Amino acid sequence: MHSWLLVSKYTSIKRLLYSILLNAVSTYTQKPKQQSIEVKKNLLYKGRDNRKIFYISGVAQHLSKSHNSMTMEIANGIGTQLSATSGEVVNVKIVPPGLIYLELTHPCLATWLQNLAIACAIQDEKMEISENTNQKPNSKNQNLLNLFAVQYAHARCFSLLRLAHQEGLIKLKEVPINGLEVWQLEFPQPIPWLNNDNQLRLYHPTEGYLIAQLVQIVDDLVCSDVSETINWQKAALGLSRAFENFWSQCRIWDEIKTTSPELAQARLGLVMATGRLLQVLLLEKLGSFAPLEL
């Protein structure tokens, strides 16, 4: 329940980790958050290993300059605070010369995927995108083929969900929200992201890469310090290609539907999460429309 509340409040994983890192730093330094707020700027970045979702912080190196302490000593102190207060959210590892690795736990990642898949963030918080970030592309520079590829991937997501609904793998209902047709998931709730060992069922490399793309794009959407510098058409095209690679190698029907229905439902959850995010990119960032079929 604790990780559910955290992920519900902070749509972006990077913003979530900023918050818990700031809490740990303020406790370690015995200073209020307001006095240590500067430590979060540019001191947390996402790692590139698609087999897991982790972030790296150099905050200990930053603090060692003003605290006359060894970097590893500070890193270990902050790491102890993080493990004590947020162990269900992140696994902490300290790496010389004092980097703090924060790996998202599988239950927390499953909660984040669940929120994205059922569109609670888009529906209620609109992914915290401010109104003035809606940027329509310059028609002279717009690559229509790339835009079509993104629209095709979006339509493909929803055609797969419709088929899964018809075959009884999932159950959807249509709800009108702000003039848009939004499909909400009724069954299964929650999506069976985790196996009996509390590990994510989605272990194929293309699944890991697609999840990493989802995490990165939501981070970029929500974190205002980088949002304006992103090439959103390139980001959307990258997400659509990651989805196509996933779909071409990770089946849902045939023997998977019969022998591993929970895996099929988890993969459909990933399809749903991808469709939601492609919709946001098409409508909010590319100034286009998000077709449900082509």
Total-model pTM: 0.87
Q: Which residue has the higher pLDDT, 89 or 33?
A: 89
Positions of E strands within 9-125 = 44-46, 54-57, 90-95, 99-104
Q: Using one digit for the tens of pLDDT, what is the confidence trace for 44-99? A: 999 988 889 999 999 998 888 766 679 999 999 999 999 999 999 999 999 999 99
The closest alpha carbon to 201, from 213, 192, 190, 189, belongs to 192
Place of tokens 């963030």: 121
Q: Is the pLDDT of residue 128 over 80?
A: no
In CATH terms, the fold of domain 2-104 is Gyrase A; domain 2 (3.30.1360)
Place of tokens 């927390």: 108
CA atoms of 192 and 262, how far apart (whole Å): 6
User: Crossing angle for the helix pair 59-67 and 71-86, nearest 10 degrees?
Assistant: 130
Q: Where are the domains of the chain?
A: 2-104, 125-285
3 state DSSP class of 188: coil
